[in-house]
Chains A and B, each alone.
Chain A
Amino acid sequence: MAESILSLDSKDKKNMPLEYTTEEGDLRIVGFWIFLAAELVLFGTLFASYLVMQSHTAGGPTARDLFKINPVMAETIILLVSSFTCGLGTLELRRHNTKGLIAWLVVTVILGFAFIGLEANEFYSYAVHEGAPISRSAFLSGFFILLGTHGAHVSLGIVWVTSIIIQLAQRGITAVTARKAFMVGLYWHFLDVVWIFIFTAVYLTGLVI
């Protein structure tokens, strides 16, 4: 056995999930958690900016004028379900069932596409039909950028999950692919959590206030 670049001696990792069994996998997962902490600050800053801007509608449409509950509920349910299917995928990962994992990830990607489609449609109708593009008011700038950043993350997530599906199909579940599948799952759940905040801080308060 070769010595690894890591200085830590291999601990007894027999009882650990597969993705933690190599030292590199372990490092990367820790690194990814820290990355998510940074992402949290990023979204936190965007939320703060949005909340400052929320009332700055400059005589243009307000949240109440624009938001409609039905499409928003659809987006929310789709994203929550996709998080659930992604979790089912991780369950299959623990059972070392490559086919099951791939199947759930495919479902997740499809739901991700549906979410992005609905969101794009919502943006389009605001910007084009309702006379509320990003340049109309500070409130709309805050809205489009907060949601757009989340949407861009989901889109990147779709590309990432797809690339991992291909790798799983090529190689099956190994310590490396298990780690990747696990990490993309964390990312997906994280985006779901951010959405819950968007749902409350943007849509619910917007519809009520």
Chain B
Amino acid sequence: MQNITNFLSHFFVTGDPMIYGADASIALASIGIVVVLTYFKKWKWLWDEWLTSVDHKRIGIMYIIAALLMLFRGGVDALMMRTQLALPNMHFLNAEHYNQVFTTHGTIMIIFVAMPFIFGLMNIAVPLQIGARDVAFPFLNALSFWLFFFGAMLFNLSFVIGGSPDAGWSSYAPFAGAELNPGVGQNYYLIGVQISGIGSLATGINFLVTILKMRAPGMTLFKMPMFTWSILITSVIVIFAFPAFTVALALMTIDRLFGAHFFTIAAGGSPMLWANLFWFWGHPEVYIVLLPVFGIFSEVIATFAHKTLFGYVVMVWSMIAISFLSFITWLHHFFTMGNTAPVNAFFSISTMLIAIPTGVKIFNWLFTLNRGRIEFTTPMLWALAFIPNFTIGGVTGVMLAMAPADYQYHNSYFLVAHFHSTLIAGTVFGIFCGLHYWWPKMFGYLLNEKLGKWSFWVFMISFNICFMPMYFLGLMGMTRRMYTYPAGLGWGPINFIITIGAFGMGLGFIIMALNIVWSAIHGKKDTTGDPWDGRTLEWSTASPAPEYNFAHIPTVSTRDAFEAMKEEKREGRTKPQLPFKPIHMPNNSGIPFIMGGFMFVAGFGFVFEWFWMGIPGLLGVVACMIARSFVYNDHHHIPADEIERIERAAGRLS
């Protein structure tokens, strides 16, 4: 009996009212979901329409829902930290707790918010933009999603079962090793992130093949929409960066579980090897979450300036240059860890070089706006706000890139302000921009503009209130990952302002959530499929797009293909309506979901070093792979008359 209570009190995290609150809300939410689904008899619907779906549009929506939930979790973490720091000598979080919260905040925001949100948007938009009927490997696409999903669930479980990781999102050795960091928290980080990372690698391969091989006839590479270009380049970065991370995570897991010595201090291990491997992935990773939003802004700015994008070819080459440079800058994350001067000089210069192609892109956006007929819609506001706010993050980045100066800024609030200026003004503004822009394509109605603008202004102004003072706080000497500070240093008032800004951003997010709920009920229907007067092919089909995307695959002859089609129509040159042909589509499959579930079981087993659970879990994964290999009947045809019926119902036949 004693043993059992002892085990349970270690298994469940105890002793903190916030965690009991989380336990209760998780239990209530789960019961609520089960009750609602059972009451409305929706289980079968959920399984048939969503959990087994291999449709890229559905998968995209699931990615975005999960990412929004994770944004909420990461945001609550941020607010807890800011509450703790609002005043000197606060006792809201203790040191240990603060460490856990910044670790889960950083990890969740990068791995479980930024990446999946972008994956969601690219799932929705890329196949439609290139005139394809799905991605190259729809089954693999579903598998990627479920690996991300179960990886995220495993990571989040640490909050209530076993304890959270606390070694920062970069999980530096030797602190993250078994000796200095016993317990399961760090295992959760390593294994949860690993599972979702495998899914990300598969997504990279999938989208690279999709874009290279499945473009509509006539769409040469240099006629692709800019968002598609950004995803092509991002996919290449994913393919080259993620395997290194997979290895790094695996080696540290093996260190912790099997007593190996890759990153330990004893027995010849090398903690610096971890720093190198982590940032060899970590720096390209920040471009994985940045280049796609460059693509989104390019689409949105061109659409709402009603002009073709300025300097298209230069834009593409800038992105290619950035992707190349992103692989040779990783060492700027540890200028201060004892490198020789020539090494620091090399990485300092390579880092500063990135500012050149990035600056080129900024000017291209400005020239696109120049003399445009600008329409200030919500997505456009996010895009316009991005330009100055992101530029501040970029300029402070160049300041940090100067190795000698970095000895001063390193690990201060100056750095915290810098990376939030790029991650929020870049990535978060970008995903909100894309969310509002493609929302009608996803659901067939628009988000409310008034609420959208409110959420934009509240969030954007609060962002500046929150992060601008941090630069000064950093120069005044406050370092990152500090859980409290004494009074009398003059940091108190600034910290208080920062906290007000942080809660303001929370308010902005709540208004956005309200907008989603309000618009689901009252939102304006998008009957044309082209609510914004768009320029690219995703706007040429109905909203929401039918399962097969395009009844006829479009033929492309220029950039801004849909704009050209509308032009032709205005000039009265319409092509005769071709007869419909049956369309060949992939079948749904439950295997990705089940395989993700086995991964979760295996991951949970390895977190607790319960090999009796971990190994059968992995065998389950292999069994799913074999089962899939024997499925031959994996396609069906949509008959021509059904296509005609769907098209007629969507009002697309005259």
> Which A residues have a C-beta under 8 Å from some C-beta of B?
2-9, 26-28, 30-31, 34-35, 37-39, 41-42, 45-46, 49, 52-53, 56-58, 60, 134-139, 141-142, 144-145, 156, 159-160, 163-164, 167, 171, 176, 180
Q: Across the interface, name the chain A residue whose C-beta is closest to B131.
A: A7
Contact between chains at A31 and B209 (CB < 8 Å): yes
Asked whether A7 lies within 8 Å of B261 as measured between CB atoms, the reply is: no
Question: Distance (Å) between the CB of B57 and the closest chain A CB?
Answer: 14
A136 touches B267 (CB 8 A): yes
User: Which residues of chain B are near A139, meaning CB under 8 Å?
Assistant: 268
* A34-B205, A38-B242 known; A145 vs B269 contact (CB < 8 Å): no
Some 6 contacts from A to B, beta carbons below 8 A apart, are A42-B246, A134-B258, A139-B268, A159-B622, A160-B629, A167-B630
In the complex, the answer to whether A58 meets B254 with C-beta atoms within 8 Å is no
Interface residues of B in 596-632 (CB under 8 A from A): 622, 626, 629-630, 632
Q: Which of A2, A134, A180 is the one whose CB lies under 8 Å from B582?
A: A2
Contact, CB under 8 Å: A138 / B205: no
Asked whether, in the complex, the Cβ of B626 is within 8 Å of the Cβ of A135, the reply is no
Q: Is B569 positioned at the interface, with any CB of A under 8 Å from its CB?
A: no
Write out the residue numbers on chain B whose beta carbons fall within 8 Å of the beta carbon of A46.
247
Instruction: Tell me which of A2, A38, A58, A164 contacts B583 (CB under 8 A).
Output: A2
Given contacts A49-B273, A167-B630, contact A142 B262 (CB under 8 A): yes
A7 with B239: CB separation less than 8 A: no
Does B492 interact with chain A (Cβ within 8 Å)? no
Contact A34/B217 with A56-B270, A135-B261, A141-B262 known, Cβ cut-off 8 Å = no
List residues of chain A with CB within 8 A of the CB of B632.
171, 176
Q: Mark B218-255, 1 if CB is under 8 A from A, else 0.
A: 00000000000000000000011011101110110011
State whether A145 touches B251 (Cβ < 8 A): yes
Taking CB atoms, residues of chain A closer than 8 Å to B130 are 7
- The count of A-to-B residue pairs whose CB atoms sit within 8 angstroms is 150
Q: B268: shortest Cβ distance to chain A, in Å? A: 3
- Tell me which residues across on chain B come within 8 A of A45, comparing CB atoms: 243-244, 247-248, 277, 280
- In whole angstroms, what is the CA distance A60 to B133 when docked? 59
Contacts of A142 in B (CB 8 A): 262
Minimum CB–CB distance for A151 against chain B, Å? 14
Q: When A and B form their complex, which 8 residue pairs have the shortest distance between CB atoms, in order from nearest?
A: A56-B268, A138-B268, A135-B259, A141-B260, A42-B243, A41-B243, A58-B268, A45-B247
Given contacts A138-B267, A145-B251, contact A3 B216 (CB under 8 A): no
Given A8-B213, A56-B267, 18 further pairs, Cβ under 8 A: A3-B584, A4-B584, A5-B584, A5-B586, A9-B217, A28-B137, A30-B213, A42-B243, A49-B247, A49-B273, A58-B261, A58-B266, A134-B258, A138-B261, A141-B255, A163-B626, A163-B629, A167-B630
Given A3-B581, A30-B209, A163-B630, does the pair A135, B258 have CB atoms closer than 8 Å?
yes
B378–chain A nearest beta-carbon distance, Å: 32
Residues B206 and A31 in contact, CB atoms below 8 Å apart: yes
Q: Are A41 and B217 in contact (CB under 8 A)?
A: no
Is there contact, CB below 8 Å, between A58 and B267?
Answer: yes
Nearest A residue (CB) for B555:
A7
Name the interface residues of B261-310: CB closer than 8 Å to any CB of A.
Answer: 261-262, 264, 266-270, 273, 277, 280
